[in-house]
């Protein structure tokens, strides 16, 4: 009891998770920190030998070159399908939480589009049998954070936006040109947004991330998790570049 008559007994203990997710008095600047503090990890992925070869460099060898390129591209789509299918399977448990305004963005649900592209390229929409070790490790991590620290899924959503959605229209064009595709065939995954829609989507994502009220500890954890997500994707690309068992030959029709 204080001199003013106010009882100052011991405060109830809170768990570490409750402290991380405690509501802050104002927005935390999460989007800005993600953009500024994950640059190195993002560039490692974007400049990986696999993605550079797949999207930015010509493949020599005529029909054989196109066949091999299609094999690698199909292998990459299969890994992405496993990742997106897993991410979407976790969403029902996060419907009525503040995080939903980011995690439930419709543009992030790309599993069905990946199935359509796989069906077009090779007629086989299976992906799990072809998942490489790095993909399974990424899947395990997403399931793990759902149970222990669901706010960290924001990092995985952000990573997918940066790697797949932002550059999607340009990658769709490169894929169409590489395989002489027409009418959007085989490019459903990267056509989530048109080139003109990308700036508005980026602004909307930035606004929603900035508006989330999280503790400083939670923001720091999300930034670290985003770096991890980028590193996991870089390892996935390195595995595919080595031509591991996940690379299954499948030329476009």
The answer to whether position 248 is within a domain reads: no
89-101 residue pLDDT tens: 999 999 888 999 9
Residue 53: both structure tokens together: 């070869």
- Provide mean pLDDT across the span 57-69: 61
Smallest Cα–Cα separation from 185: which of 107, 108, 252, 110? 252
DSSP string of 108-161?
A: G--HHHHHHHHHHHHS----GGG--HHHHHHHHHHHHHHHH-GGGHHHHHHHHI
Instruction: Give 152's contacts (C-beta < 8 A, 6+ positions apart).
Output: 145, 221, 222, 225
- Count: domains in the chain: 1
Position 14 in a domain: no
How many residues are present in the chain? Answer: 253
Q: How confident is the model at residue 6 (pLDDT cuts 50, 70, 90)?
A: very low
242: pLDDT strictly greater than 90: no
The counts of H helices and E strands in the chain are 12, 0
CB 83 within 8 A of CB 163: no
Residue 176 lies in a domain: yes
169 alpha-carbon distance from chain centroid: 16
User: Does residue 104 lie in a domain region?
Assistant: yes
Over residues 147-196, the pLDDT tens digits come to: 999 999 999 999 999 999 999 999 999 999 888 888 889 999 999 999 99
Q: What is the pLDDT of residue 217?
A: 95
Q: Is residue 74 part of a domain?
A: yes
Dist. CA 103–CA 91, nearest whole Å = 7
- What is the residue range of 236's domain? 26-241
> What mean pLDDT do residues 199-224 have?
96
| Domain assignment of residue 2, yes or no | no
Question: Domain with 224 in it: what CATH number?
Answer: 1.20.910.10
The answer to whether 34 touches 226, Cβ cutoff 8 Å, is yes
**Residue 68 to residue 50: CA distance in whole angstroms:** 13
Q: What is the pLDDT of residues 123-139, one digit of tens each?
A: 888 888 889 999 999 99
In a domain, 3, yes or no: no
Please state, in angstroms and rounded to a whole number, the distance separating the CA atoms of residues 93 and 119.
29
* Average pLDDT value for the chain: 85
Q: How far apart are CA 139 and CA 82, in angstroms?
A: 8
Q: Tokens in use for 227?
A: 């770096």
For residue 51, what is the enclosing H or E element?
helix 49-55
Whether residue 249 is contained in a domain is answered as no
Candidates 96, 99, 128; CA nearest to 111 is 128
| pLDDT at position 208 over 70 | yes
Q: Are 31 and 205 in contact (CB under 8 A)?
A: yes
């Amino acid at each position: 009891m204080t001199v003013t008559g106010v009882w100052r007994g011991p405060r109830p203990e809170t768990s570490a998770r409750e402290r991380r997710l405690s509501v802050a008095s104002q927005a935390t600047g999460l989007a800005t920190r993600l953009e500024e503090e994950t640059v190195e990890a993002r560039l490692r992925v974007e400049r990986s030998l696999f993605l550079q070869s797949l999207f930015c460099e010509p493949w020599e060898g005529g029909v054989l070159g196109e066949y091999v390129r299609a094999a690698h591209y199909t292998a990459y789509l299969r890994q992405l399908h496993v990742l997106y299918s897993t991410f979407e399977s976790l969403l029902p448990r996060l419907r009525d939480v503040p995080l939903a305004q980011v995690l439930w963005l419709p543009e992030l649900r790309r599993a069905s589009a990946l199935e359509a592209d796989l069906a077009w390229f090779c007629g086989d929409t299976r992906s799990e049998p072809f998942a490489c070790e790095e993909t399974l490790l990424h899947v395990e991590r997403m399931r793990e954070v759902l149970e222990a620290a669901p706010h960290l899924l924001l990092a995985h959503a952000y990573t997918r936006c940066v790697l797949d959605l932002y550059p999607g229209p340009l990658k769709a064009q490169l894929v169409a040109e590489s395989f002489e595709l027409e009418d959007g065939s085989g490019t459903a995954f990267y056509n989530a947004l048109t080139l003109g829609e990308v700036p508005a989507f980026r602004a909307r994502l930035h606004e929603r991330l900035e508006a989330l009220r999280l503790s400083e500890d939670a923001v720091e954890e999300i930034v670290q998790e985003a770096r991890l997500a980028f590193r996991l994707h870089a390892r996935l690309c390195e595995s595919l570049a080595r031509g591991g068992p996940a690379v299954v030959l499948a030329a476009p029709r």
